Structures are given as structure tokens and as C-alpha cells.
Amino acid sequence: MAWEHKSLNQRLREAMHEGCTGADLPRDYRVQMEHQAMVSGATRILFTASQWDEDGALIEARHCWYTPDPELRAQLVAGWVEFEKDVAAYVPTEAAAPVVAAPVESLPAVVVQVDGVLAVRGNLPAFGDALRAFIARMPARPETDQEFADADAACKALKAAEQALDTAEAGALAQISDVEAMRRAVADLKALARSTRLATEKLVAAEKEARREALVRHAAVALAEHVRQANVQLHVHGAGQLGTPAPAALAACIKGLKSLDSMRDKLAAELVAQKVAIDAQAQRMLDNRAALRRQDGDWIFLFADFAAVGGKAPEDFAALAELRITRHQQDEAARQRTEAAARELAQAQADVQRKPAPVLASQAPAAIKPEADDGIRMTLGQINGRLAPISVSAAGLAELGFQPVATERAAKLYREADFPAMCRAIASHATAAALPALRAA
């Protein structure tokens, strides 16, 4: 036995209701308890969550017992196995320093003044030269994280240039109503800054999306290869095949993330989780396939849908297998009885044709020996279905010595074990009916 004590929080308060067990705890707590049980060998763990005030007085405490969960333990073991594989295959790389945009060259302040004689003074030509030089130095197509960061910072500087030009123009217009040349210069420079910024922002967004898609594709390829390897083992044991999961879950796990490093980390974690789930599914299929190999034969022929149902939990699959095998055995036993009755009827008809009429007339029908009751019942409709195209009524069966053993919703039920004897009695009755014709022949 072991004990674990946690601080009571809202999640635990909602989970630890009256009569709760360890199975009601949030998954992260159950994972910790399962690890403790694995390491210590404890068969149960008392889980306590409490809240205390500043003076050390107990405010509230809740308790429940955690018992080992074989399914969760199997998942944890599989996760550690996958982790060991990843560690063995890991190739260390030099950790990249956090990407910080390089200092962006500051553009000169925009100065435009108008004096009383309509003379425009300012540094628009110098500002224009500086702006064009700044744009020329921007990376045309960012490829590295550093270049992406620099491009983002440059876009912010260009937007600031647009705002500065607007401010300068407004200041000049406040001094004079119409300075056409100045306005054209401001408009041209503003358009240049804006068009460059928009194009760069679009390029950065497209490149980031391309990088995101490339990371998802790479993870999807790795997952498909893991499924392929699992299917090789399943094929060797004739245990069906696994389908490759859609990459939608991989793409969803990095939704909202900004940096490439965070996307890589999240995809790696999701990839491990899916690999563990695939391994668990494959192992269940192998175990369930082995369960179909019994001393009385291999029952896989009853599971054309094994690829769909082979991954069920062992107890669920065992129940399904027992149902199908029992039903097949009952159907096979009924078929064999029907075939035996048909052979007896054919033999009786052949005997009638071989023997002279007087001998047939002198022979009485053999006494019917009751068969052991196997508990299987037949309705009159089922009997006539097997006798088709011949049919018999309940009264006819009664005359032949066969009474119903039960009634269900007005349907008379007969022992299926008596069916061969019914066939013999009907054949004997038919033979007796044929005697006049045989004598005449």
C-alpha cells in the first residue's frame, strides 16, 4: 500500500465526489499513481487532496483509493519503450539561440515645412533615398528563422515610415493648402513603403505556412512508416492490417503555434502518442488472432471482418468469438442431422424399390428409438422448410407419434433431435401408401 498527498484544487474537487475511486481522477494524476504502483509494487494507493489555511488548520480533505489499471500500465510501458527507441535513434544537434530580429536601420525623420512664399523645404529626397536603400537590403525570400525575424521587423519599420509620411504631409498642409509637388512625393514614397511591406508580409506568411505543412508531412511520413512496420508483423501472423491515420490530428496539434521550434516539439510529442496507440492496437490484434487458434481448429474463417473487429479489447473479442463459434457449431450440427436424415430417407426409398411388394406389406415400421434431447427446438415452419417440397401438419406429426414439447406465441415447438425419426416415419408412411401401386405393378 502507498499514499499520495496533493493540494486540493478545483479539478480534484470536481473529480473527487462522494463514492469516487482512483479511476475518477484526472489522467495526469492516474499516470503518476500507476508509475508509483509499478515501481513500488503496491496493490493500492490512498490518494489524499487537502486544503489548509495560513495558520495550518485543515479546511477540507478528500480521499479515494487508486488500484492499478492494466490498460493504462500497458500504455505507459509502451510509451517508455518508444521513448527508448527515440533516444537510441536521436542525433544531438546544436541548440539554436533564440531568434531575435537584427537591429533595424532607422530611417531619417520626415521633415516638410512650407514658408510664407510657398517654398517647400524638407528632406524628402534624402528620405526617399534612405527608404529605397533600406528596401534593397531586405531579404527577397526569407529562408531561415533569422531572416523571418528580420523580415517581420522590417515590415514594422516600413509601417512606421508610412505613418511618418502621413504625419509630415498633414503638418505641411496645415501651413499651406496646396503644395502639389510635396504631396506627390509623399504619396509616391508612402505607396513604395506600403507595397513593399504588404508583399513582404504575404511572403512571410506563405513561407511560414509552407514550413508548417512540411513539418506535418514529415511527421505523417514517419507515422505511415511505423504503421507499415506494424503491418509487416501482423501479416506474418495473419492478423489483418492497420490503416494509416489521417494527418488531421498532426495538423491540429500545432494549431495556433508561431515558432517552428514549438511546432517541432509538439509534433514530436503527438507522433510518439500515435505510435504508442498503433502499437497497442497491433498487439491487441495479435493477441485476438492467437485466441482464435484453439485445439479444435483455427476459427479465423468466421472473421472475414477481422481487420475491423480484431482490435477490440480482449474480453470483448472473446465474447464475440464465443458467440460466432457456438452459432457455427449449432448450424453445423443441424446441417449434419439434416444430411443424415436425407440419407436415411433416400436409403429407405431405395430399399422399397428393391424389395417385392408382399415382403414390404408384411413388414411393420421399426420402432422409433427416442434420441437424447439436446435442448434445441424447431417450429412446424422450420420442419416443413427442411422437408420442402414435402410438408406436414401438427396433426400429421401427432399421428406419426410426435407431440410438441412446448408452445411459444401459438407456435408449437418440437425437439430437433427427433427430426431424423420424423423423416423415417414420414418415409415409412409414404412407403405404405405406395403399396397398392407396387402390387398393381
Q: What is the pLDDT of residues 177-202, one digit of tens each?
A: 556 677 788 888 889 889 988 998 89
Sequence-distant (≥ 6) Cβ neighbours of residue 367 within 8 angstroms: none
* Sign of CA pseudo-dihedral 398, 403, 409, 411: negative
Q: Dmax over Cα atoms in the chain, in whole Å?
A: 150
Distances 229 to 223, 277, 340, 437 between C-alpha atoms, Å = 10, 14, 50, 75
- The least confident of 56-65, 163-172, 358-367, 427-436 is 358-367
At 292, list the grid cell: 482464435
Burial of 329 (0-12, 13-18, 19+ CB in 10 A): exposed
Q: Is the pLDDT of residue 360 over 50?
A: no
- Cα 359 off chain centre by: 74
Strand partners, 66: 45
Whole-model pTM? 0.49
Rounded Cα gap, residues 366 and 63, in angstroms: 77
Predicted confidence (pLDDT) per residue in 330-344, tens digit: 999 999 988 888 888
Mean pLDDT of 419-427: 89
Of residues 92 and 328, the one with the higher pLDDT is: 328
Given a contact cutoff of 8 angstroms between Cβ atoms, the answer to whether 418 and 369 are in contact is: no
Q: Are 245 and 214 in contact (CB under 8 A)?
A: no
Kindly list the domain boundaries of the chain, sorted by start residue.
2-68, 125-296, 312-339, 377-439
| Residue 363 pLDDT grade (very low, low, confident, very high; cuts 50, 70, 90) | very low
The pLDDT of residue 364: 45
CB atoms within 10 A of CB 297: 10
Helices (H), 120-259: 124-136, 145-175, 180-236, 248-253
Q: pLDDT digit string (tens) for 230-265?
A: 899 888 888 888 888 888 888 888 888 888 888 888
The closest of 82, 65, 74 to 19, measured between CA atoms, is 65
Between 309 and 433, the higher pLDDT residue: 309
In this model, does residue 309 exceed pLDDT 80?
A: yes
